[in-house]
Amino acid sequence: MSKSILKDAFLGMRRQEAIDLVEKGLRSGADPFTILKECRQAMEEVGKRFETGEFFLSELIYSAEVFKAVSSILEPDLTSNWPGDESKGVVVFGTPRGDVHDLGKNIVITMMRAQGLTVHDLGVDVPPERFIERLQETEAPILALSALITPAFISMRETISLLVEEGLRKNTLVIIGGGVTTELVRKEVGADAQTLDPTEAIKLCRRYIPDRSV
């Protein structure tokens, strides 16, 4: 499947065409992870056009609908091609206060669950206290935070500060992701790891879990 055709369907807000292209791509053996990456890049372009004023909020909202439709088609393939693994683990996951973006978070959660991780999804706009409460209730060793807007960095930092205050920081792996995050952001907010790649995130969790359980 040509990358630009799929991107054009996203940018043209042609939901059905995007669905057809993804279905056709999967049928012809295209890598689902590559298709996901192309969709993400298309969404990035939607964001850029929104920033420049070429697109409005309506396009931002509709592109999310296109993405949701496409990701539900991709999900079975994204979650079925992994080698089996014994390690199980518990993750508390959410989008921090001030941010309501959840498309990327939901994809990562689907993939984590398919890999045997138990994920407590707290949803979006989650205040720091709720993350801490849930970590205490579940004794989860991993906290995953997704951020798509820069104000969410402040909430991430507040959440991590609260982890420190509550004495949980040392025993919690904090992993962040989402379009606006970078290695620099990781350092600034005090997280342990940052990635945009769900596969990498699952590997990080797996590497961490056996260490904590012994």
Q: Tell whether residue 64 is a contact of ligand B12 (CB under 6 A).
A: yes
Among 6, 22, 35, 43, binds ligand B12 (CB under 6 A): 43
Asked if 25 touches ligand B12 (CB under 6 A), the answer is: no
Buried b (16+ CB within 10 A) or exposed e, 3-42: eeebbebbbebebebbbebbeebbeeebebbebbebbbeb
Edge-to-edge strand order for the sheet containing 193-194? 117-121, 89-94, 142-146, 173-177, 193-194
Q: Does 30 bind ligand B12 (CB under 6 A)?
A: no
The nearest distance, CB 141 to ligand B12, in angstroms, is 14
Which one among 50, 127, 134, 203 touches ligand B12, defined by CB under 6 A?
A: 50
- Residue 99 within binding range of ligand B12, rule CB under 6 A: yes
Q: How far is the first Cα of the chain from the last one, in angstroms, to the nearest whole number?
A: 46
Contacting residue, 20, 31, 44, 85, with ligand B12 by CB under 6 A: 44
In 3D space, the residue among 96, 98, 95, 129 whose CA is nearest the CA of residue 109 turns out to be 95
Residues 154-183 within binding reach of ligand B12 (CB under 6 A): 175-180
Given the rule CB under 6 A, which of 16-24, 58-66, 79-87, 156-164 is the region that contacts ligand B12? 58-66
**Residues in contact with ligand B12 by the rule CB under 6 A:** 36, 40, 43-44, 46-48, 50-51, 57, 60-61, 63-64, 67, 98-105, 107-108, 144-146, 148-150, 175-180, 195-196, 198, 201
